[in-house]
Amino acid sequence: MAKHISNMDQLQKALQPIMTGMIDELAKRVYETLNYFLNDYYTGWIPESYRRTEALLRSAVKVDAYPDKGGVRACVYIDTDSMDDYVNAAGYQVAQWANTGLHGGLSVNHKPHVWDNTMDETINNGSLLQLAVQYLRSQGISVRN
């Protein structure tokens, strides 16, 4: 059914559900990719000098899309505050190590860069943009590349 739109407020209201759905899909992809690299980080190297808490492994968070300042926002992040059981390291430090290829502050052969690799595999390679275009087309919105 066609909608009659005569001003920007009506356009925004008409697009809000589509944008919310799209942003949720994009955030889901980033969250899945982040968890892939967190799992890779954990399975690629077994420590001998410390006991793992696996707090980093379970630290990925996805916040569902919500209206924000005339647009839509969703968040995907590593919850460093949830990582409070490390000895001699804060959660933020552990996340930094995971993004520089260090395990427990130690340099090892298996060196995924958890957050940077996530950005490379979603945003930097254009796959998130392609997912957005596919989503918009699935909703009947014409998009040209």
Give the per-residue pLDDT at 65: 97
Q: Please tell me the predicted confidence (pLDDT) of residue 18.
A: 94
Please count the CA atoms within 13 angstroms of the CA of 67 that sit on its side-chain side.
8
pLDDT at 85: 80
> Would you state the pLDDT for residue 49?
65
Query: The tokens of 138 are what?
Result: 């699935």
Sequential pLDDT tens for the chain (145 residues): 567 889 988 888 888 999 999 999 999 999 999 999 999 998 877 777 667 778 899 999 999 999 998 889 999 999 999 998 877 889 999 999 999 988 878 788 878 899 999 999 999 999 999 999 999 999 998 988 7
State the pLDDT at residue 11: 85
3-state secondary structure of 69: coil
29 sits in the region (left: phi over 0; alpha: psi -120 to 50; else beta) called: alpha
What pLDDT does 58 receive? 94
Triad 33, 130, 34: Cα angle to 5°: 10
Note the pLDDT of residue 93. Answer: 94
Q: Domain locations in the chain?
A: 10-138
